[in-house]
Amino acid sequence: MRKEVFLSDVASVRSIVRATGFFTEEEIQMAGELVETYLQQGEQSGYRFLFLEEEGRVVGYACFGEISCTNHRYDLYWIAVDPKEQGKGLGRKILEETESEIRSLGGQKVYIETSSRPRYLPTRQFYLARGYVVDAQLKDFYNWGDDKVIFSRTLMEAPRIEEKPVGRTRPTKIRKVAVSSRKGI
Ligand SMILES: CC(C)(COP(=O)(O)OP(=O)(O)OC[C@H]1O[C@@H](n2cnc3c(N)ncnc32)[C@H](O)[C@@H]1OP(=O)(O)O)[C@@H](O)C(=O)NCCC(=O)NCCS
């Protein structure tokens, strides 16, 4: 697994994403553009990558980044494994390593968006198997009958917030009694 990004990754990413058969040509181009953006801007791009290699060949990868204006929430933008290598635990390995990397960067929650189409059922099952929960489903987001399903996983528990008393409290009652008793004097 490597974090460094090489020029050759632009082609590797497009090749893997295309081979999955899950994505449109526009999405395939976009996946490569994210790598190009990183090569130009580095971490300023907001994207980070993890590549899984076998015998010098990229067989899977993940692209993730911190979501701006949030308290260390991260988006997993892409995860894909070469179809010839799927179902062997490589996706799990990439996702676990990505989460570990996000944790080390101080990340607290991870969000993933995917489609509700039947074609993406294995992908949704993959996320559920990895401890993700469905946080929201935006109806007809991508197209009619094609919802956006938002998964999340908490990496760091929320800090305890001290409960403040709500409703009428005793001091108010005591004050009232004090006022009426003064009136009686
Ligand atoms: C989703 C994807 C990354 C998973 O990678 P993978 O290497 O095939 O997955 P793994 O072999 O590591 O499986 C990990 C877990 O998911 C579960 N899983 C994977 N595919 C599944 C399927 N088709 N049905 C049910 N569960 C599945 C496995 O049971 C496994 O659980 P376990 O570890 O508890 O046994 C890969 O299938 C892929 O590239 N899909 C196409 C692209 C895509 O949809 N990307 C995500 C959208 S950006």
Asked if residue 185 belongs to a domain, the reply is no
Asked if residue 103 belongs to a domain, the reply is yes
Read off the DSSP letter of residue 142.
E
Find out whether 157 and 108 touch, Cβ atoms under 8 Å: no
Residue of 88, 126, 142, 146 to test ligand 1 pocket, by largest number of atoms within 8 Å of CB: 126
CATH of the domain at 32: 3.40.630.30
Find out whether 112 and 132 touch, Cβ atoms under 8 Å: yes
Reply yes or no on whether the pLDDT at 62 is more than 50: yes
- Arithmetic mean of pLDDT over the chain: 90
**What pLDDT, on a 0 to 100 scale, did the predictor assign at position 165?**
62
pTM listed for this prediction: 0.85
Count Cα neighbours of 52 within 13 Å in the Cβ-side half-sphere.
21
**What pLDDT, on a 0 to 100 scale, did the predictor assign at position 103?**
97
| 3-class secondary structure, 101 | helix
Helix or strand run (H / E) with residue 122: helix 121-129
Given pLDDT bands bounded at 50, 70 and 90, which one contains residue 185?
A: very low
Q: Give 174 Cα–ligand 1 centroid separation in angstroms.
A: 63
Task: Supply the range of the domain harboring residue 148.
Answer: 8-158
Which residues have CB under 6 Å of ligand 1?
20, 22, 78-81, 86-92, 114, 122-123, 125-126, 129
How many distinct structural domains can be found in the chain? 1
**What pLDDT, on a 0 to 100 scale, did the predictor assign at position 16?**
97
**What pLDDT, on a 0 to 100 scale, did the predictor assign at position 156?**
87
Q: Give 29 Cα–ligand 1 centroid separation in angstroms.
A: 23
Q: Give 175 Cα–ligand 1 centroid separation in angstroms.
A: 63
| More confident site: 40 or 169 | 40
Backbone angles phi, psi at 131, to 5 degrees: 90, 10
| 3-class secondary structure, 109 | strand
Asked if residue 176 belongs to a domain, the reply is no
**What pLDDT, on a 0 to 100 scale, did the predictor assign at position 107?**
96
DSSP string, 31-87: HHHHHHHHHHHGGGGS-EEEEEEETTEEEEEEEEEEPTTSSSEEEEEEEEE-GGGTT
66-96 pLDDT, tens digit per residue, is: 999 999 999 999 999 999 999 999 999 999 9
- Residue minimizing CA distance to atom 10 of ligand 1: 89
Give percent of the chain above pLDDT 70: 86
